[in-house]
Structure 1
Amino acid sequence: MALPGRRVGGHRRVPADLRGRGGECGVIDDFLGAVRAGAGRALVVHGEPGVGKTALLDHLVERASGCRLARAAGVESEMELAYAGLHQLLTPMLHRVDELPGPQCAALQTAFGLRSGPVPDRFLVGLATLSLLAEVAEEHPLICLVDDAQWLDHASAQVLGFVGRRLVAECVGLVFATRGAGNDLAGLPELRVGGLGDADARALLAAALTGPLDAQVIDRLVAETRGNPLALLELPQGLTPAELAGGFALPDAIPLSGRIEESFRRRLDALPAETGTLLLAAAAEPVGDPVLVWRAIERLGVPADAATPAVEAGLLEVGARVRFRHPLVRSAVYRSASPQARQRAHLALAEATDAGTDPDRRAWHRAHATLGPDEPVAAELERSAARARARGGLAAAAAFLRRAVTLTADPARRTDRVLAAAQASFRAGALDPTLALLTTVDGAALDESQRARVEMVRGQVAFAVGSSDAAPLLLRAASRLAPLDLGLAREIYLTAWGAASTGGHSSGAGVLLEICRAVRALPPTPGGPRPLDLLLDGLAALITDGRATATPTLQRAAAGLADIPVDHVLRWGWMAPAASNAVWDNDGALAIATRQVRLLRDAGALAELPLHLSSLSLACAWTGDFDTVAANIAEADSVAAVTGSRFAPYSALRMHALQGRETELSVAIEQAEAAGPGVALYGHWAAAVLHNGLAHYRDAVSAATTATSNTFEHWVSAWALPELVEAAARVADEKLARDALDRLADTTRPAGTDAAVGIEARSRALVSHGARAEELYREAIDRLSRTTLRPELARAYLLYGEWLRRDRRRLDARVRLRTAHDMFTAIGMDAFAARSARELAATGERVRKRATVTRGALTAQEFLIARLARDGLSNPEIGARLFLSARTVKYHLGKVFTKLDIGSRAHLDRVLPGDGAAVPPH
């Protein structure tokens, strides 16, 4: 079905009002050519007001023959209404929204208030928009024009910026005209539009004059307008002949846009009073709905024909929409009006707006019609905020609540609204406005609940920016909340525990201990402990009482955390794998992380996804499934590039270390060190693994010693102990090896899992002799063969083979070393494979190099797309996973087929074999 609207024709002649814009018109023409050829494009046309951005958009329209056109414009007074600009752009296409995948359809409809449902993730709304535009463009190239993008509401700007960055192979062109390329449009191609050159400026000015002008005045007009076309056309019309003759009306202190607005104000002053009232109502009404404007001016006692003088003066256009000739006309009208006149206009518009169909815009107008405290209006804004939250418009919810605050007289209710606005701002990612709101209640008479919420939000902001103040702030908030809301207090204690333990600063040990003591003193949860309670109690006991006491509680927590609901995953689920990881249960951590990633994908909670993908990747790295690790890292990078999420390179460190890739690991370690001491600890662990693989044992001792030095970090410090035992044994530092072994046993024995017992047995064998050593190596292989930890099992075979060779049992050694070498090669652990090959050569066996499938020609994104296609996902399903349109997925798969020399996805199984080397008998 064709998109409703007109096809746009044109000719090649550059319009006269684009004098001096040949270069810019060339960029526009190239842009159109690329879109027609099937390459999606975005372009941000930016420059000061009046410089000709809208004229360039009009030129694009004239040139866009055979294309479909969709237009929207940002409106300053509508900036607080979530998705208003996006709705304006997509309205002609919404009859096709049902063709989108279910989650995308639901997200877009919920965002526009067309259905009720859970809050849609804004990036899922973005993906739905991309899919909808791509579907429409399948029939004809689609050109989307957004004028005055600087006044788009934040949610719309985010979504359209997202879409612009994802256009690849769609026949979609997205053009923004804006005063400056803001953060939401960052990274998009830009066309900066400056003033005209002197010759073109003089010619344009001459064309606008009706009579001769003093040459010095011309010089000054050209110089002071800096070639701004609108200024050159409008300023002379706002000046008297006497002023034009002497040039006395151009004070240097007024900014250019202010001068243009002043010129418009002078022209407005010449209009009848009734026309001015009509213009003010139109300026305050962002949609340009003529029926609404006429209803409002009727309430103001103004006849409809009052628009005629404004139309004749070239200031207003009246048709299907009421539009100002230029945004600065609207600005001049609104700013020049008195506060009382603005109030009357907004009140008339509120009364003219249907409360049933558009309650939020009605509430917004009522709010602007009210100066002093007004509880009914504030309560209406509060209801609008709730509706905005339900649509995912957190920034809009915060704006409604901020306005409600100014209309609230009761101090306690005012504080509650400030806190609600701050919470909405925080969830929208607006951290500075969040703190600014909180400062408004500093010194106020707060009750305990309010003080706790203030500290909670301050702590959440501090944690979000990685501040060392986060844990103390969250501790104080949780302590205040405990007598009031025990369940919420426990959630905040858990976040505080995570903030303190991951900070990596030795000074954090004190606050971590304080958090744990406070948790141990909490009363039991009514109705019995929940998974969160077990996790928190276990982590607290880990610090205060040690592993032996904490492990049973952590094991119970791990079992309960396997099926927590999605709302818990969103709030504190990032901590859920901690219980399994603390008790050497990688299978549990893998199951939890796998489920949580699936839940977040299904819920469209994309901003949180990279952190959970990182947990999943780390668990997969323990199993040696590097293809999945690489795919998850690529997906996390893809999501983070869209959402701006940040996550530490934990899984990349682990994977590159096991693979023996020194160059890649050094880059990841630099990133880890830049992320802070807590992440740097992972870098030292990774370096120890790498150096053991390379047989650089003294370097491994140094790295492992650092990785195990943090006495209040209970994951890496334990995981690095086997590396320290191995390296210390190889450099004959028996005391260091035995001390590390004792510390390792303190973590593995309470756990009692096959992984824990197997790794301890392998490490203990390194400091044992004779039959006892062989018994331990065999036990390690037996235990680890029951797990999915193939790298650890392969290393047990390697160490056993090395021990056998040194015991002069060359034939037995060859069997174990060959097994180790085969496993390392199959997994992709190149450094350890080379180490086992050297050991085999020392037994007299020649190692043959195995041919391996190379995928080095594929980019990370191409490999991920190929892998998902191999696993049976359709192009739309892959696109939904990676924020791409189905057409772009098809484009990338075409490149994959070419690089791998195959004809279709049916052949991907052959060139991308599934993971999984069989565990050999022992």
Structure 2
Amino acid sequence: MWRIGDAQVPLVGRAEERRVLAALVSAARDGSGGSLVVRGDPGIGKTSLVRAATAQLTDVLLLSVDGFEAESTLPFAGVQRIGMPLADHIDALPPRFATALRVATGYAAGPPPEPFLVGLALLALIAESTTGGPVVVVVDDAHLLDPESLGALAFVARRLDAESILLLIALRDGAPADALLAGLPELRLTGLDVPAAVALVSRSSEQPIDPVVAVRVAEETGGNPLALVDLARDLTPGRLSELSLSEGPVPIGHRLEGHYLATVRAHDPDVQSWLLVAAAASGGDPLLIERAVDRLGIPARAATAAEAAGLVSVGTTIRFRHPLVRSAVYGGAAAQDRRHAHTALGAEALARGLVELAAWHRAEAAFGVDDDAADRLQEVADRAGRRGGFASRARLLARAADLTSMGPRRAARLLDAAEAAGLAGAARLALDLVDRIPGEQLDDVQRGRTIAVRASLAAFLADPVHVARASAEMLDAADAFAPTAPERERRALLFAFQYALPAERSLAGTTVDAIGRRIRSAVGERADDPLGIILSALASLILDAPAEAAPRLRTAVATLHARPDDDILDYGALGAVLCTALWDGETGDDLLNRLVRVARERGSLRILDAALWTQSLLRLGRGDPAAAGRSLEHVREVRRAMGFPAEHVVNAAQLAWSGAPPATVLGIAEAVLALGFGGVHSSGVRAVAIQDIAAGHYRDAFERLKPFVEEPFLHITPHELTDFVEAAERSGNGTAALAAMERLEPVSAAIDSPWLTGVVTRCRALLLGDALEAEPLHRGAVDLLSEAGTPADLGRAHLLYGEWLRRQRRRRDARTELRLALDVFERVEAPVFAARARAELEKTGDRQAEVRADPSSLTPQESAVARLAARGRTNAEIASALFISTSTVDYHLRKVFQKLGISSRRLLAERLGLLDP
């Protein structure tokens, strides 16, 4: 049925669209969850189509919510209304999920939950309710939902797989909610075709209509069902004939809204006033509207007249015939009348204890500056922040600032709004808000906060200038904080260091040494608190000789290990820097694994995304491209959960290790460099140089690495030097190789690391060439690297020793080393080195070495599920780790067992081998 208010006419056309929705419902019944975003212009039939698809469902739990403008800044208001019918299931959820939902919806106090954790909790809550059968969730007018609820629903939609859940989201075309729903499957409704439109016009009219007129009306309205139904009902056949003969278009969109406004204005003033209050109320609360109307002295009969005219339907809520009717009523009223309506509604909401709603109406009633209304919005914004509603907090504070008198309070509210927008990931909004702040009205701390907001947005906006200058800007922020806010100063300095890492040699506006000196001036030579210890270590890494820096770096690593989980979220990623400088990849991986675990548990997907990316770089640096690839796949999974395109997740260095053509890798590296990310560029170029070494193109490797060696950068350069030694020695640049060794030796002497000592020993063996004295060095390198947990470097040690043995004509011994090398390279998925090892084996007469076949055809998500199950994780733990439901975990495990030909988890570890979590 086409539904306009409570009136109905048969639903004509839309056969294909109804088939699509029926198939989704059927799939949900069969345990295959899904989602669909239904888009279209006002009046195109979104609501009617969704209702027709769900009206006759049996043995299905139907949850239905509508978006309301008055709730659009109340964080998680939509989640609250969805969750209310499922309240009996909340105690069955894991405690952190139950707590997140209760805090987000205002039923409990506690730390603000991460928005994605609320989304995961909502998914778990809906999935828990499927025990009695499929669940269909319908969200209409989704463009009017609060952004937190819409974000949570979008998260749920992206994680539906093997659940008996269908999520249908209907909203207008071009809604600002588009970014939140990016990537979800869509059904875009357009006008009915002419035969269906003519049929709808004919059925809707109370009098016969000339078929020629009906066709003309259908064509001119573009088949918009609302326009067809209302014109057929409101206009006589004669008037329709006049419209069909005119040269102008039939009323639709704004014109149709004008048609409704004329209809409304045909009623007496009391009815118009009542309709205006109902339109201003947005949510359709009958009691609120009734009492607000009474405050304004509007007689009760006006409601009866409005309903009798078919403009509204009155029930448990008051609904307009269509949003365009409400829009016509509200938009056509005088501004003063709108303010009177909001004032009455706000007073009644406050009398009923609806503080957030009262503040919203009070703000809508404001004219120009209204500090009292701004103060009320500030209170509501603070409540939103306590519930984790940072997007709503940003909007509320921005509106509060608009209502605040010019001066420091207005500037402070704009700054608070910008920081909230940044926390919500709304980078453009945050930047716009910062641009509105009058700098002369800020104190030093506020000025520092403003600078910090701008610097923090650089990576979000991929602005090459600001990516390169972010560290310099954070130093400026630290200077602003220094006189009165030393803790803020130290945190700004920490960020100044962190922002230098992605920029690396593209750093602009400052230098690494300047950052180190500024940190040391703030914390001194010694510090005894965690942040001070970490900062002191970073300053030492920058400014001091390795022998002096190493003890401080170890103390900082120990400090990180001892910190509680909350601090790990703030500092955990620095563990990768400290451990890389100490050549301690295993400890770095342990710290990152902890950071990944905590971020997953808290639902901190942005931190998780960064941690997994850092983990992929660390694992690649340790020489395990296979493990790095698994981390990258987890990054892609997180990006999908957040609604970002996963195909854009590319690590140029990992591609090189995997055998991608150098031109492809270098093209990606140059593109990233153009965005200011010098660190990603240098890692990509270094990986191509390693690829050159594997292929025997030593001169090319030498030329690629030389600029990096000549322009050192922190903890990165010693790792580059080890490859440079091999490239230089093998390309006839022995002097450069010896100079590089002279730079490596002090680092090796200062750091007690089997990894570094093993690599340096390998380099010494290389410098001896075919001399017999090289053999104990080759053996020593193999022994040391066997303890280091750095497989590619171990494989390279076996390879170089095997090549040396072959040149000594010791073929049997050479085969042993080369087979060990080949096994390592195949296990860590380093095909270029594997090819070299295989070629060397053939030179020894061993022609049996073949490329190892891929043992399975698991999809990335199947592989992730299988690896966690092989580690003994429960389905619930796997679901939490991968942001999916337990049903989806069970579904993937069944597929894994089938593909691997096993029947129990006990055999997974054996079949998959020793894998990283």
Instruction: State the TM-score, normalizing by the size of structure 2.
Output: 0.90
Matched, 1:56 2:52: no
Q: Displacement of 1:150 after TM fit?
A: 2.1
Matched, 1:343 2:339: yes
CA-to-partner distance for each residue in 1:621-664, whole Å, 9 max, x for gaps?
4556666544433222111112257999999666665xx53138
Q: Percent identity?
A: 38
**More displaced, 440-449 or 106-115?**
440-449
Equivalent residue, structure 1, for 2:913: 913
- CA RMSD across the alignment: 3.4
Matched, 1:764 2:764: yes
- Give the match's secondary structure for 1:46: strand
Are 1:610 and 1:645, in contact at CA under 8 Å, matched by a contact in 2? Answer: no
**More displaced, 380-389 or 27-36?**
27-36
Matched, 1:674 2:671: yes
Are 2:879 and 2:886, in contact at CA under 8 Å, matched by a contact in 1? Answer: yes
CA distance in 2: counterparts of 1:193 and 1:650, whole angstroms: 33
Which of 271, 278, 281 is 1:282 aligned to?
278
Equivalent residue, structure 2, for 1:508: 508
Are 1:82 and 1:388, in contact at CA under 8 Å, matched by a contact in 2? Answer: yes
CA distance in 1: counterparts of 2:431 and 2:400, whole angstroms: 18
Residues 24, 793 of structure 1: alpha-carbon distance in 2 compared, 3 angstrom cutoff: closer
- Give the match's secondary structure for 2:681: helix
CA-to-partner distance for each residue in 1:665-695, whole Å, 9 max, x for gaps?
8766654443323212111222233333344
- For 1:190, give the aligned amino acid: E
- Give the match's secondary structure for 1:69: strand
CA distance in 2: counterparts of 1:826 and 1:221, whole angstroms: 69
CA distance in 2: counterparts of 1:207 and 1:648, whole angstroms: 49
**More displaced, 697-706 or 448-457?**
697-706
Equivalent residue, structure 1, for 2:785: 784
Which of 31, 37, 43 is 2:30 aligned to?
37
- For 1:500, give the aligned amino acid: A
Instruction: State the TM-score, normalizing by the size of structure 1.
Output: 0.89
Mapping of 1:420-431 within 5 angstroms? 420-431=416-427
Residues 312, 913 of structure 1: alpha-carbon distance in 2 compared, 3 angstrom cutoff: same
- For 2:345, give the aligned amino acid: L
CA-to-partner distance for each residue in 1:372-422, whole Å, 9 max, x for gaps?
444443233222112211221111101211122123226111111110011
Equivalent residue, structure 2, for 1:802: 803
Matched, 1:198 2:194: yes
CA distance in 1: counterparts of 2:316 and 2:346, whole angstroms: 21
CA distance in 2: counterparts of 1:216 and 1:807, whole angstroms: 97
Residues 824, 489 of structure 1: alpha-carbon distance in 2 compared, 3 angstrom cutoff: same
**More displaced, 187-196 or 560-569?**
560-569
Which of 310, 314, 332 is 2:328 aligned to?
332
Equivalent residue, structure 2, for 1:130: 123
- Give the match's secondary structure for 1:109: helix
- Give the match's secondary structure for 1:42: strand
Equivalent residue, structure 2, for 1:323: 319
Matched, 1:313 2:272: no
Residues 862, 461 of structure 1: alpha-carbon distance in 2 compared, 3 angstrom cutoff: same
- For 2:706, give the aligned amino acid: T
**More displaced, 648-657 or 80-89?**
648-657
Equivalent residue, structure 1, for 2:457: 461
CA-to-partner distance for each residue in 1:49-88, whole Å, 9 max, x for gaps?
1111111122112342332211111123332222222322
Residues 241, 693 of structure 1: alpha-carbon distance in 2 compared, 3 angstrom cutoff: closer
Q: Displacement of 1:269 after TM fit?
A: 1.7
Q: Displacement of 1:705 after TM fit?
A: 3.2
Equivalent residue, structure 2, for 1:67: 60
Residues 333, 710 of structure 1: alpha-carbon distance in 2 compared, 3 angstrom cutoff: farther
CA distance in 1: counterparts of 2:310 and 2:647, whole angstroms: 57
Are 1:237 and 1:263, in contact at CA under 8 Å, matched by a contact in 2? Answer: no
- Give the match's secondary structure for 1:458: helix
Matched, 1:662 2:659: yes
CA-to-partner distance for each residue in 1:741-776, whole Å, 9 max, x for gaps?
223335433334332222222212211364653443
- Give the match's secondary structure for 2:866: helix
Residues 298, 45 of structure 1: alpha-carbon distance in 2 compared, 3 angstrom cutoff: same
Residues 163, 309 of structure 1: alpha-carbon distance in 2 compared, 3 angstrom cutoff: same
Equivalent residue, structure 1, for 2:636: 637
CA distance in 1: counterparts of 2:136 and 2:10, whole angstroms: 22
CA distance in 2: counterparts of 1:69 and 1:648, whole angstroms: 35
Equivalent residue, structure 2, for 1:471: 471
Are 1:239 and 1:263, in contact at CA under 8 Å, matched by a contact in 2? Answer: no
Residues 550, 688 of structure 1: alpha-carbon distance in 2 compared, 3 angstrom cutoff: same
Residues 240, 286 of structure 1: alpha-carbon distance in 2 compared, 3 angstrom cutoff: same
Matched, 1:301 2:297: yes
CA distance in 2: counterparts of 1:893 and 1:590, whole angstroms: 27
Equivalent residue, structure 1, for 2:83: 90
**5+ residue gaps in structure 2?**
2-7
- For 1:582, give the aligned amino acid: A
Are 1:234 and 1:264, in contact at CA under 8 Å, matched by a contact in 2? Answer: no
- Give the match's secondary structure for 2:457: helix
CA distance in 2: counterparts of 1:832 and 1:258, whole angstroms: 67
CA distance in 1: counterparts of 2:80 and 2:246, whole angstroms: 41
Are 1:725 and 1:763, in contact at CA under 8 Å, matched by a contact in 2? Answer: yes
Residues 754, 198 of structure 1: alpha-carbon distance in 2 compared, 3 angstrom cutoff: closer
Are 1:155 and 1:395, in contact at CA under 8 Å, matched by a contact in 2? Answer: yes
- Give the match's secondary structure for 1:256: coil
CA distance in 2: counterparts of 1:558 and 1:518, whole angstroms: 22
**5+ residue gaps in structure 1?**
1-7, 9-14, 917-922
Residues 214, 859 of structure 1: alpha-carbon distance in 2 compared, 3 angstrom cutoff: closer
Q: Displacement of 1:607 after TM fit?
A: 1.9
Matched, 1:700 2:708: no
**More displaced, 266-275 or 124-133?**
266-275
Which of 381, 404, 407 is 1:385 aligned to?
381
Equivalent residue, structure 1, for 2:582: 583
CA distance in 2: counterparts of 1:915 and 1:242, whole angstroms: 78
CA distance in 2: counterparts of 1:626 and 1:577, whole angstroms: 17
Are 2:755 and 2:785, in contact at CA under 8 Å, matched by a contact in 1? Answer: yes
CA distance in 2: counterparts of 1:365 and 1:500, whole angstroms: 46
CA distance in 2: counterparts of 1:189 and 1:464, whole angstroms: 25
Q: Displacement of 1:521 after TM fit?
A: 3.2
CA distance in 1: counterparts of 2:539 and 2:647, whole angstroms: 24
CA distance in 1: counterparts of 2:159 and 2:251, whole angstroms: 37
Aligned residues: 898
- Give the match's secondary structure for 2:180: helix
Mapping of 1:100-499 within 5 angstroms? 100-180=93-173, 182-210=178-206, 221-235=217-231, 246-247=242-243, 256-353=252-349, 358-409=354-405, 411-442=407-438, 444-467=440-463, 468-469=465-466, 470-499=470-499
**More displaced, 90-99 or 619-628?**
619-628
Residues 325, 575 of structure 1: alpha-carbon distance in 2 compared, 3 angstrom cutoff: same
CA distance in 2: counterparts of 1:347 and 1:306, whole angstroms: 20
CA distance in 2: counterparts of 1:212 and 1:814, whole angstroms: 94
- For 1:902, give the aligned amino acid: I
| Higher RCO, 1 vs 2 (CA within 8 Å, ≥6 residues apart) | 2
- Give the match's secondary structure for 2:10: helix
Are 1:672 and 1:680, in contact at CA under 8 Å, matched by a contact in 2? Answer: yes
Q: Displacement of 1:16 after TM fit?
A: 5.2
CA distance in 1: counterparts of 2:489 and 2:601, whole angstroms: 28
CA-to-partner distance for each residue in 1:846-878, whole Å, 9 max, x for gaps?
375489684341111111111111212222221
CA-to-partner distance for each residue in 1:423-479, whole Å, 9 max, x for gaps?
111111112221221222245433222222221211111243233222333222222
Are 1:584 and 1:748, in contact at CA under 8 Å, matched by a contact in 2? Answer: no
Residues 650, 741 of structure 1: alpha-carbon distance in 2 compared, 3 angstrom cutoff: farther
- Give the match's secondary structure for 2:106: coil
